[in-house]
Amino acid sequence: MSTRTILGDLMEEAKNIVGPRQDQVRDSVVKSIFQAAENIAGEVVSCSSPGRANWDRKIDNIITSPVWGFPSMFGLLAVVFWVTLSGANVPSAILAEGLFWIEDRLTDLFAALHAPAWLHGFLVLGVYRSLAWVVSVMLPPMAIFFPLFTLLEDSGYLPRVAFNLDRFFKKAGAHGKQALTMSMGFGCNAAGVVACRIIESPRERLIATLTNNFVPCNGRFPTLIALATIFVGGSVAVFPGSAMATLAVAGLVVFGIAVTLLVSWVLSRTLLRGEPSSFTLEMPPYRKPQVGRVIVRSVLDRTMFVLARAAVVAAPAGGFIWLLANARIGGTSALAIIAGWLDPLAGCMGLDGFILLAFILGLPANEIVLPILIMGYVCGGAMTELNSLADLRQLLVDRHGWTWLTALCTMLFSLCHWPCGTTLLTIYKEQRNWRWTVAAALIPTAVGVVVCMVVNNLVRTLDWV
Amino acid sequence: MAGKTTLNNLPSGSFALVTEVLAEGLIRRRLLDLGLVPGTRVEVVRRSPAGDPTAFNIRGAIIALRKEVAGQVLVSPLGDEAAG
Amino acid sequence: MGLTYQSTGKLATREIFNVPASIRQPVVALAGNPNTGKSTVFNALTGLRQHTGNWPGKTVLQAKGSYIHDGRKYTLVDLPGTYSLLANSVEEEVARDFICFARPDATVTVVDATCLERNLNLVLQVMEITDKVIVCVNLIDEARRKNIRIDSDKLSERLGVPVVTTAARSGEGLSRLLDVISDVVFGRVQPKPRLVRYTPEVEEAIARLEPGIRALVGGEINARWVALRLLDGDIKLGHSLEIFCNRREPVRAAREVLV
């Protein structure tokens, strides 16, 4: 007799024994186990005094309080951004100075070796310069943001965020744990997509996956931070300036959360219809994070991982852009020609062709969007070295006619466009479905195009610029 | 002792004994696994600032349940003297 | 859709954790509730740096590592954190199938000392599947701070399996844990789990099914536990068992050729 038939008989027999009382058997079994656990625990555990003051509850009284719950969440978010923003400026400038000093020495070296100009251009001005940009723009904010975020993660704060926000997710037909996967998305959207596995219901997991990109990941923060600093903070004195920039970034994040909820709501009523599944969330006790270890690990593991990935992508992309920028077709660079094609669409969205092209070429990694844009702008002309945000401001505003509207649209499109290549690949690996992977790229892009067009045309119609 | 009610109807800070789990299927299994078997004492710890879900202390762990789920657990409230 | 494990219908044998079936070194599984510091224990033992966040469900990728104790190499598998093994979720299914079908040489169940009662639920379920269980009462430092005392000798006596108290973050008790693991792996200590006794009706039903199951699965899988699962209408386990039984024959034949 085959295994299958024996097993089938056994299962049949089990069914006959149990009869219609399936639930009762399960209840009885689980109850017996819990009772045994209760008895054993009663014998071996003793609590000599009521214990120390219950700190967890006291902390929760603030963090999840009806009055302070939401302000404290927003406040904490703002503090994290402010520390990242204001802390990153100085090391960023120092790094840039150091790395561009090396670039000069490299140029000297190439000159001494009588290397052809195209080789110098490709390797130094293309590959090396974009690498230097990625490192100096990304490393400091990451080295600050990741440890801060890891501290929050290790302390047990994130489940409280899910607890506070669950009702909104429920209204949107999504799962409360989506707040957790979104939080992971701040670090890296690919990590956020993987974290979606904690959502058991396939429908809600898919919603969380498709909308994870609406939280800006670490690759996009530098873009947001740089533009916010130049266009929001730059016009005011130093301290309130950085505070204003912080508020702008925090505001964008809140906008991203709102879009997440809205898109989740639409998805759960159209493509992914269904009842919200049951939601149980454990709120673990707070634990004092091991600060030293967190800093070391998050800098070494997360920061270096993301940076290495960015560098691997940025180096060849830098070379490629240099080629595009320097390949002349009828006196114009190929980059400028392509940007020209994109201009009409980009113009409607409040951008220009170079900005849109930078986003397109930045598909492998969002980190390189800003460096590509800069390369696009400076190509052909005299190579400007950009050692500070002031130089960047000059480049954007004085030479390429950016207004605050351009910056706003660029930030909005950075928040709402296709996920980076790694994230898309991760989505495919998790879902094993091309259609959903394409949807994950199309949905945020469509949202971004519409939002930018609406904002651009509204502001222009109202004559605010 | 007051009459029977469901877990979602209890005020924060109150205690109750589970009498029956009405849910079926997967939700029922989940709730049982969390330790919500008849006879279990549950404390209502707090409500989310948004009003829902509610956090309960179930056998030493703080578990948040949405009101639709908590509404499927029958309980009999305990007076304060039984709480300690 | 969902985890590849689910969609391919593969059995959670050693292969899905990338542990070759032919491996000679002892395989040790780490089970436990979410948030018991299981991943911290894993990192402390293997020296790996898997990040340990404080939110439920973070061990979504099963981790595998190894360590050397007394000159011998052990493979350690970090199972997903679960409250129970009744297969209500993919994580539970993976953890359960690994303990049942990959038959690790020892299963360390990590429990939170500050919340023992809730965690014992899982320990009792693990003990139903395998005898080779070690209970690791972790976060003992936090329990001390909260004035919770645990009589580990008594716990060991009541459960019938070895109990080690640890504070994995500071490394307390870990060398003893390693000693106990090797004792169990090499049979110097033979745990005799004291299993939960169910109501007479359930026990009677188990007794009726057990002989038939034992004839089918042999001594490699706990027939009492399988009986209990079938009574619970666990169809998934039925499928896993079928794959297991069908695969066992060729494997055994191959082994005989090799030896």
Domain boundaries defined on chain C: 4-185, 200-258
Total residues found in chain C within this entry? 259
Distance of CA C239 to the CA centre of its chain: 20
**pLDDT value of position A318:** 77
Find chain B residues with C-beta within 8 A of C57's C-beta: none
Q: Which of A2, A4, A9, A10 best probes binding to C when mutated, by most C CB atoms within 10 angstroms?
A: A10
Using 50, 70 and 90 to split pLDDT, how confident is the model at A400? confident
Cα separation values, C27 from A412, A414, C165, Å: 51, 47, 21
First to last CA, chain B: 16
Q: What pLDDT, on a 0 to 100 scale, did the predictor assign at position B84?
A: 43
- Closest CB to A28 among C55, C58, C199: C199
Q: Say what the pLDDT of residue C258 is.
A: 46
Q: What is the pLDDT of residues C132-186, one digit of tens each?
A: 999 999 999 989 988 889 999 999 999 999 999 999 988 999 999 999 999 999 9
For chain B, state the CA radius of gyration: 12
Residue C188, pLDDT score = 95
- CB proximity A1 to C under 8 Å: no
Closest residue in chain B to residue A166, using alpha carbons only: B53
Q: Is A40 within 8 Å of C159 when comparing Cβ atoms?
A: yes
Question: Structurally, how many domains does chain A consist of?
Answer: 1
- The larger pLDDT score, comparing residue A260 to residue A217, is at A260
Instruction: Name chain C contacts of A205, Cβ cutoff 8 Å.
Output: 2
Please, what sign has the CA dihedral across residues C14, C19, C24, C27?
A: negative
Residue A389 lies in a domain: yes
Residue B45: which pLDDT band, with cuts at 50, 70 and 90? very high
Cα–Cα distance for residue pair C214/C241, rounded to 1 Å: 12
Amino acid type, A330: G
The average pLDDT across A167-173 equals: 90
A204 touches chain B (CB under 8 A): no
User: Bigger pLDDT: A374 or C26?
Assistant: C26
Kindly report the nearest CA distance between residue A170 and chain B, in angstroms. 9
The reply to whether A22 falls in a domain is no
> To the nearest whole number, what is the mean pLDDT of chain A?
84
Q: How far apart are CA A166 and CA B51, in angstroms?
A: 10
Cα-based distances in Å from A419 to A202, A349, A413: 21, 19, 11
Task: Provide the pLDDT for residue C21.
Answer: 55
The CA distances from residue B4 to B1, B8, B20, B43, in Å, are: 9, 12, 10, 16
CA atoms in the 13 A half-sphere facing the CB of A33? 27
Instruction: Please report which helix (H) or strand (E) contains residue C195, including its range.
Output: none
Q: Which of C158, C233, C238 minimises the CB distance to A40?
A: C158
Q: Which residues in chain A touch residue C227, judged by CB atoms under 8 angstroms apart?
A: 14
Which class for A112: exposed (0-12), middle (13-18), buried (19 or more C-beta within 10 A)?
exposed
Q: Which residues in chain A touch residue C228, judged by CB atoms under 8 angstroms apart?
A: 29
Average per-residue pLDDT for chain C: 82
Is pLDDT at C248 greater than 70 in this prediction? no
Kindly determine whether residue A280 and residue B63, on different chains, have CB atoms separated by under 8 Å. Answer: yes
Which one of A123-132, A286-295, B48-57 scores highest in mean pLDDT?
Answer: B48-57
Whole-number pLDDT of residue C119: 92
DSSP A450: H
Query: What pLDDT shows up at residue A328?
Result: 79
**What ipTM was estimated for this complex?**
0.90
Tell me if C118 and B29 make a contact (CB, 8 A cut-off).
no
Residues 6 or more apart in contact with residue C129 via CB below 8 angstroms: C85, C96, C99, C100, C222, C225
Q: Which domain holds residue A186?
A: 68-273+313-461
pLDDT digits (tens, 9 = 90+) for A298-311: 777 767 776 777 77
Report the share of chain A in percent with pLDDT over 70: 92
Report yes or no on A284 lying in a domain: no
Lowest mean pLDDT among A366-380, B43-57, C21-35: A366-380
Taking the C-alpha atoms of residue A450 and residue B8, their distance in angstroms, rounded to an integer, is 42
Residue A285 included in any domain: no
Residue C110 has pLDDT above 50, yes or no: yes
Q: Could B29 and C88 be called an inter-chain contact, meaning their C-beta atoms sit closer than 8 Å?
A: yes
Sign of CA dihedral A247, A248, A253, A256: positive
Residue A53 has pLDDT above 80, yes or no: no
Does residue A393 form part of some domain?
A: yes
Q: Tell me the chain C residues in contact with residue B60 when contact means C-beta distances shorter than 8 Å.
A: 114-115, 117-118
Instruction: Please check whether residue A158 lies inside any domain of the structure.
Output: yes
Average pLDDT over every residue of C39-65? 67
Task: Please name the residue of chain B whose CA is at the shortest distance from the CA of residue C36.
Answer: B61
Which residues does C178 contact at the CB level (< 8 Å), separation at least 6?
C45, C67, C69
Please judge whether A30 and B33 are an interchain contact, meaning their C-beta atoms are less than 8 angstroms apart.
yes
Higher pLDDT, C61 or C144: C144
Residues A321-365: tens digit of each pLDDT: 788 878 878 778 888 888 899 999 999 999 999 999 999 988 888
Distance from CA of C88 to the nearest CA of B (A): 7
The pLDDT tens digits of the residues spanning A221-277 come to 878 888 888 887 665 444 566 778 888 888 999 999 999 999 999 999 998 887 767
Q: Say how far apart CA A362 and CA A359 lie, in whole Å.
A: 5
Pair of tokens at residue A123: 């390797």
Domains detected in chain B: 5-82 (2.30.30.90)
CATH architecture for the domain at C4-185: 3-Layer(aba) Sandwich (3.40)
- Residue at A25 is within a domain: no
SS (H, E, C) chain B: CCCCEEHHHCCCCCEEEEEEECCCHHHHHHHHHCCCCCCCEEEEEEECCCCCCEEEEECCEEEEECHHHHCCEEEEEECHHHCC
| Whether residue A408 has pLDDT greater than 80 | yes
pLDDT above 70 coverage of chain C, percent: 80
Q: Which residues of chain C have a CB within 8 Å of the CB of A9? A: 212
Secondary structure E strands in A35-149: 45-47
Q: For residues A42 and A48, give the distance between their C-alpha atoms in angstroms, rounded to a whole number.
A: 13
Mutate to test the interface with A, among B17, B41, B46 (most CBs of A within 10 A): B46
Which residue among B26, B34, B69 sits closest to A279, beta carbon to beta carbon?
A: B69
Residue in C117, C159, C216 nearest the CB of A3:
C216
Q: CA–CA distance from C105 to each of A114, A428, C24 (Å)?
A: 66, 36, 11
Q: Contact C211/C224 with Cβ under 8 angstroms?
A: no
User: Is some CB atom of chain C closer than 8 A to the CB atom of A274?
Assistant: no
Residue from A307, A313, A315, A306 nearest A188 by CA:
A306
